[in-house]
Copies of this chain bind each other. A is one copy, B any other.
Amino acid sequence: MKKAVVLLSGGLDSATTLAITKDRGFQCHALTVDYGQRHRAELNAAKRIAKAFQAVEHRIFPLDLTVFGGSALTDKRIDVPLAPSTGIPPTYVPARNTIMLSLALAWAETLASNDIFIGANAVDYSGYPDCRPEYIAAYETLANLATKAAVEGCKLSIHAPLIALSKAEIIRRGAALGVDFALTVSCYQASDDGLACGQCDSCRLRLAGFAAAGLPDPARYRQAP
């Protein structure tokens, strides 16, 4: 059984990605990065999801990006926007996916795995540069120059199975694969017990996605959205 490293944040995209990875027959090694994100409930959600999909192993890697800041998610002085904005929003975290993929690459090499899965999505995404297909392709090129495993002939693949799906399509795909979306937390400012604000970019994308998919959103909101 081939091993895959799956980046698992605790949101619905990465939960669906884990379900897809398992469905493709991989043994799943889930990696969550505790980068100091303000929505700590995400970490507990990741644990629940890894358990539900029987990941062989789930590691939560501490890596404190609040040291660098530069994002509403890693610097408490920057507010999470509650209305749609133009351009790349302040919830963008500098180099986040690059850092997380690099840790996944290190783990994949020590596991002798050639497959890394990430739930990056370029359609309903919030304008993050490191969620675009050209970024993922460049990372795969880099990964195949970076490691001893690559030099010795292993071809590493970075899989982003959601990259071209709408949020509604992701939700339908996840539902078909048995994802219990009640386990997931999407809100950028969820309370510690997982209550969502219903107003941030991520909540709005989620709510619109469930509406478009014609499915109820089982998330718990602080007030009816």
Q: How far is the CB of A100 from chain B (nearest CB, A)?
A: 9
Q: Is the CB of B142 within 8 A of A135?
A: yes
Q: Is the CB of A63 within 8 A of B63?
A: yes
Q: How far is the CB of A184 from chain B (nearest CB, A)?
A: 25
- Interface residues in A62-107 by Cβ distance below 8 A to B read 62-65, 67-70, 88, 92, 94-99, 102-103, 105-107
Q: Per a CB cutoff under 8 Å, which of B94, B103, B145 touches A129?
A: B145
Is A146's beta carbon under 8 Å from chain B? yes
Interface bin, chain A: 35 or more
Is A1's beta carbon under 8 Å from chain B? no
Q: Per a CB cutoff under 8 Å, which of B65, B129, B146 touches A146?
A: B129
Answer whether A147 and B105 are a contact pair too, CB < 8 Å, given A68-B110, A138-B138: no
Q: Is the CB of B106 within 8 A of A94?
A: yes
Q: Is the CB of B70 within 8 A of A109?
A: yes
**Hey, which chain B residues are within 8 Å of A70, CB to CB?**
106, 109-110
User: How many angstroms from the CA of A106 to the CA of B130 in the assembled complex?
Assistant: 12
User: How many angstroms from the CA of A150 to the CA of B98 in the assembled complex?
Assistant: 14
Answer whether A148 and B98 are a contact pair too, CB < 8 Å, given A70-B110, A141-B138: no
**Hey, which chain B residues are within 8 Å of A139, CB to CB?**
142
Is A176's beta carbon under 8 Å from chain B? no
Instruction: Name the CB-closest residue of B to A148.
Output: B88
Q: Is the CB of B129 within 8 A of A109?
A: no
Q: Per a CB cutoff under 8 Å, which of B67, B97, B106, B130 touches A95?
A: B106
Q: Hey, which bits of chain A sit against chain B, CB under 8 A?
A: 59, 61-65, 67-70, 88, 92, 94-99, 102-103, 105-107, 109-110, 129-130, 132, 134-135, 138-139, 141-143, 145-148, 150-152
With A88-B152, A141-B141 already in contact, 6 other A-B pairs whose C-beta atoms are closer than 8 Å? A68-B110, A94-B105, A95-B106, A99-B103, A135-B146, A138-B146
